[in-house]
Amino acid sequence: MRRRQRSLRTRLALSYSLFFAGVLLLMIVGIYWLVRQALLAEVSQELATTVELIQQDFAESAGLVSGYFTDSEMLLHALPAQIDGLDTPTVYIQVHDRDGAFYTSSASLRGQQLTLEPADRDAALAGSVATRTFALGRARVIQVAAPLRSGGAVVGVIQVAQSLRSVDQTLRTLMEGLAITGMITLLAAVRGGTWIVGRSLKPVNEITSTARQIIQAADLAQRVPNAATDDEIGALADTINAMLERLESLFTAQRRFVADVSHELRTPLTAMRGHLELLQRGVVRDADDHAEMTGDLLREVNRLTRMANDLLLMAQTEVGLQLRCAPVALDDLVLEVVRELRPMAEGVALHPQFTEQVAITGDRDRIKQALLNLVANAIQHSPAGGAVTVALDQDGAAASLRVHDSGLGIAPEDLPRVFERFYRADRARAQRAGGAGIGLAIVQWVVQAHGGDVFVESASGQGATFVMRLPLSGPGGREPDVRTCGR
């Protein structure tokens, strides 16, 4: 069974709380350790001072170890008045000779003996000071073992210890305070972190809710609410809105395309079906009528073929169609296009115009298809008895192909959109002429794929001129290099 994952809000709040708890624990441990080390250092310093005072008094007495430290009165007088006396239960003194034999101890020990480890004794006899913490009865003590000198020579080992009961009590109180403060701080951090995470994710929840409504209602016109701040959430909202706008445009174009293609397919198929039914029933017996009907069928088939080729090319451009680059003589291409379309002009004159040979590097088939689309579009929008001019010239570092028709022209509001897919300025006229609104989009893709640009110039009642600018194959018309094709 798949385990249900926690929400992002819960995971963020939990992660924040765990991180804060870790930082808080490190801070508590650090404070406790610093205070503990400071207290122990202070006690050790007091013990070291006590050892120095006792050593100083013993050296001034010039007595023997056995005589000085076995005299309890002498031992008490060895400490100055500012030192809390040996009769207190917190300071202990014990003396051993060089051989480790016990001499005497302070009354505060009450018959107990301080532990003298061999390592501490050897260190003291060698002139060093050793500090050790151990248990004495039910309390802990800290002990300093130091050399006892007389006349410059080490004659014994003196141990001075102090109870850590007050230190331990202070540390326990500190730990309890830190624990209580830490728990309160952690709870406040958890509540505050949950609130902060919830507030931070509120725009995300709104975006999710809106996106769910868009999915359920299938309404791409809706937009997610914009964030009030210019941060990552705001950038996410802007990106999603841009994506929705793009999807709405694509779906609108797709619906328009499906409707247009359905209509375009239905018209020729209906005509072809009618002709075929007449031929099948043998109604058409006259040879001229039969030839005319066969010609109509052939034109409809050619129309469907062109539409299918255009749709296939558009699908190929979406997945990255590769161009096959080679030298292309544009003057020969212009003549070839005019020759192929002249039988289909139906009363529209085609006039090629060029004064020099112009060559580029590119995909000849694609360039020819783009030029065919432009000339066919010009024929469709030119009235019977009109003319279409296909001009070629060299304009600086580019070759210019200009296709001018003698139609009514293009309205100014339609000029910026004539190269959009499936867009048709005069839909009724385009349907009668047989266009599906994808020919000019193919022209734009072909030209841009070759590193050129295409634009249209038009004035009302004066026709339209479509211009394709393609980069030349080389300076001065030198032999084209196939490696320079496209961008």
- pLDDT tens readout for residues 200-218: 777 777 777 877 877 776 6
Does the pLDDT at position 5 exceed 70?
Answer: no
Same domain membership, residue 20 and residue 157: yes
φ/ψ (deg, to 5) at 215: -65, -45
Region of poorest pLDDT, from 107-121, 141-155, 226-240? 226-240
For residues 77-104, give the mean pLDDT.
63
- Whether the predicted pLDDT of 318 surpasses 70: no
Predicted pLDDT at 420: 77
Q: Is the pLDDT assigned to residue 81 strictly greater than 60?
A: no
We report the CATH number of the domain holding residue 65 as 3.30.450.20
pLDDT for the residue 228:
65
Q: Model-level pTM?
A: 0.49
In a domain, 213, yes or no: no
Distance, in Å, from the CA atom of 351 to the CA atom of 403, rounded to the nearest integer, reads 10
* Number of structural domains the chain divides into: 3
In a domain, 197, yes or no: no
Which DSSP category does 417 fall into? G
Whether residues 343 and 268 fall in one domain? no
Give residue-wise pLDDT tens across range 348-379.
Answer: 999 999 888 888 989 898 899 899 989 988 99
C-alpha 440/C-alpha 422 separation (Å) is: 9
Angstrom CA distances, 455 to 444, 451, 466, 467, 479, stand at: 9, 14, 6, 5, 28
Last residue of a domain, one of 313, 332, 350: 313
- Does residue 161 or residue 251 have the better pLDDT? 161
Q: Give the pLDDT confidence score for residue 255 in this predicted structure.
A: 77
Q: Tell me, what's the pLDDT at 174?
A: 94
Asked whether residue 184 is domain-assigned, the answer is: no
484 pLDDT band, cuts 50/70/90, is: very low
Q: Specify whether 417 is located in the same domain as 344.
A: yes
Co-location of 469 and 368 in the same domain: yes
210: in domain? no
Q: Minimal CA–CA distance to 204: which of 225, 219, 218? A: 225
Nearest to 409 by CA among 443, 381, 435: 381
Q: Look at residue 437 in the predicted model and tell me its pLDDT.
A: 64
DSSP track, 174-215: HHHHHHHHHHHHHHHHHHHHHHHHHHHHHHHHHHHHHHHHHH
454-478 pLDDT, tens digit each: 999 988 778 899 999 999 864 344 4
Same domain (yes/no): 459, 358: yes
**Same domain as 327, residue 275:** no
Last residue of a domain, one of 313, 337, 353: 313
Residue 464 belongs to a domain: yes
Is residue 324 classed exposed, middle or buried when 0-12, 13-18 and 19+ CB atoms within 10 A define those classes? exposed
Looking at residue 350, its pLDDT comes to 93
Q: Which of 313, 346, 371 is the last residue of a domain?
A: 313
**Mean pLDDT over each residue of the chain, to the nearest integer:** 79
What is the model's pLDDT at position 367?
A: 92
Residue 317 pLDDT > 80, yes or no?
no
Percent of the chain scoring above 90 in pLDDT: 20
Average pLDDT over residues 280-293: 78
Whole-number pLDDT of residue 235: 80
Residues 125 and 19 in one domain: yes
Is the domain of 117 the same as that of 51?
yes
Residue 283 belongs to domain with CATH number: 1.10.287.130
Using one digit for the tens of pLDDT, what is the confidence trace for 403-460? 999 988 888 888 888 887 666 665 444 444 445 567 888 889 889 888 899 999 988 7
If asked whether residues 347 and 479 sit together in one domain, one would say: yes
pLDDT score at 264: 67
| pLDDT higher than 80, residue 4 | no
User: Which residue has better confidence, 103 or 85?
Assistant: 103
Lowest mean pLDDT among 116-120, 168-172, 205-209, 426-430: 426-430
Tokens of 273: 């079906």
**∠ at Cα 184 (183, 189), nearest 5°?**
95
Q: For residue 286, what are the domain limits?
A: 232-313
- pLDDT tens-digit map of 122-138: 898 888 889 988 888 88
Query: Does some domain include residue 49?
Result: yes
CA distance 464 to 26: 79
Residue 289 lies in a domain: yes
- Which of 214-223, 224-233, 383-392, 472-481: highest mean pLDDT? 383-392
Residues 137 and 245 reside in one and the same domain: no
| Residues 242 and 158 grouped into a single domain | no
From residue 27, alpha-carbon distances to 181, 189, 258, 342, 432 in Å are 12, 15, 68, 90, 83
Question: Residue 203 domain-assigned?
Answer: no
Of 341 and 438, which is predicted with more confidence? 341
Q: Are residues 307 and 328 located together in one domain of the fold?
A: no
